[in-house]
Amino acid sequence: MKSGFPTGFSLPKASGHDQPLWSKISMVLVELTRFGRSHRGWFTKGVLIAFVVVASRLALPWPLKAVADQWMKRGFSRPGREVLIQLVPAGVDPVVAMGMLFLLLSLVVGLADFLERSWFDRFSQALCNDMEAEATNGAAANPGAARDIATDSERLKSGLSGFMVQVATNGLVFAGVAAVLITMAPSVGLVFAIAGVLTATVTGGAAVMIFGDSLTSRGARRSGLSGTSHRLHHLKQPETRSTLLQGAATWVAHGIFGLAVLLALLIAAQAANTGRISAGDVVIFMMYTLMMRGPIIRLARQGAKSGKILAAAYHLRELGKLGNQTRHGSAA
């Protein structure tokens, strides 16, 4: 009995087509760029505000580091707070000042995150509406395609916005944390940078295979396989494998991140024991380590799901192209 898992690392091809999947994905990206140019204002705003989100999140641990550096190296006595007093207005408790700074940064993160999601959502809605309109015109002679257009359009709208938010925010957070750690402890930062590259490689491979499975599933449904049970088997098998691939990519990302944390802890512990890093650096390291877990896992999960998003865009593109070919043939 053959399993639904791939037996090798070669990329699958969509049934009935000789074009490799990477070529199809490239065409989809070009098409999304073409439709997105008209609405690039929303996209630009979303990218810019994403930098605000990331910068604020990266700054969150530093007020706590300031407290830790002064209190941990001299104990919790009053003299240990003299340096902090110089950083805040006279008469203001340094701890209260650092707490207020932390609160302010948290509020900035929340507001910027709201704006980022809103602007990316407007961009994706406008882009998808344009693609849906072209696909609807292209499939005007095929009333049966209306349901497929509605399904693909909805999947593209919901998936594209979430994908952009996750990649823009979590991707920048991961890159920013790795960069900060490299400046503090090059070996630790390098470990997480390598972990990010490995996760992106695994996620990209899963996304390509899910993209191919989605095209295969659509082709099987349109081919009208004889026998209801036989047809349902062929329709469900790619969907089942796509779910397994998403889970596998997330599981591998957990493993990569766990191994990276283990190696980084060993390096950081050795540096702390030899006095190369301070107590405040340890606080930063622990907070950044916790901060990186969410982004790397969400990137892996969302990256694998991008295969279905690209497949939905490819289906809409093909329907729109079919309409252009039909109109050109009628004119000839």
Residue 301 domain-assigned (yes or no): yes
Please report, rounded to a whole number, the percentage of residues in the chain having pLDDT higher than 90: 11
Residue 16 domain-assigned (yes or no): no
Task: Among 131-135, 143-147, 221-225, name the one with the lowest average pLDDT.
Answer: 221-225
Residue 275 domain-assigned (yes or no): yes
**Domain span at 215:** 30-331
User: What amino acid occupies position 301?
Assistant: R
Residue 210 domain-assigned (yes or no): yes
CA–chain centroid gap for 191, Å, is 20
CA–chain centroid gap for 234, Å, is 30
Residue 20 domain-assigned (yes or no): no
Residue 6 domain-assigned (yes or no): no
Please report, rounded to a whole number, the percentage of residues in the chain having pLDDT higher than 70: 72
Average pLDDT, the chain: 76
CATH number of the domain enclosing 239: 1.20.1560.10
Q: What's the domain count of the chain?
A: 1
Please say if the pLDDT value at position 261 is more than 60: yes
pLDDT in tens, 197-248: 898 899 888 888 888 888 877 655 555 544 444 444 444 565 677 778 888 8
Please say if the pLDDT value at position 51 is more than 50: yes
Helices (H), the chain: 21-36, 40-59, 61-74, 82-85, 94-138, 146-166, 172-184, 186-223, 228-273, 279-331
Residue 278 domain-assigned (yes or no): yes
Q: What's this model's pTM, rounded to 2 decimal places?
A: 0.70
**CA–CA separation, 209 vs 121, rounded Å?**
27
Mean pLDDT of all residues in 4-29: 60
Residue 225 domain-assigned (yes or no): yes
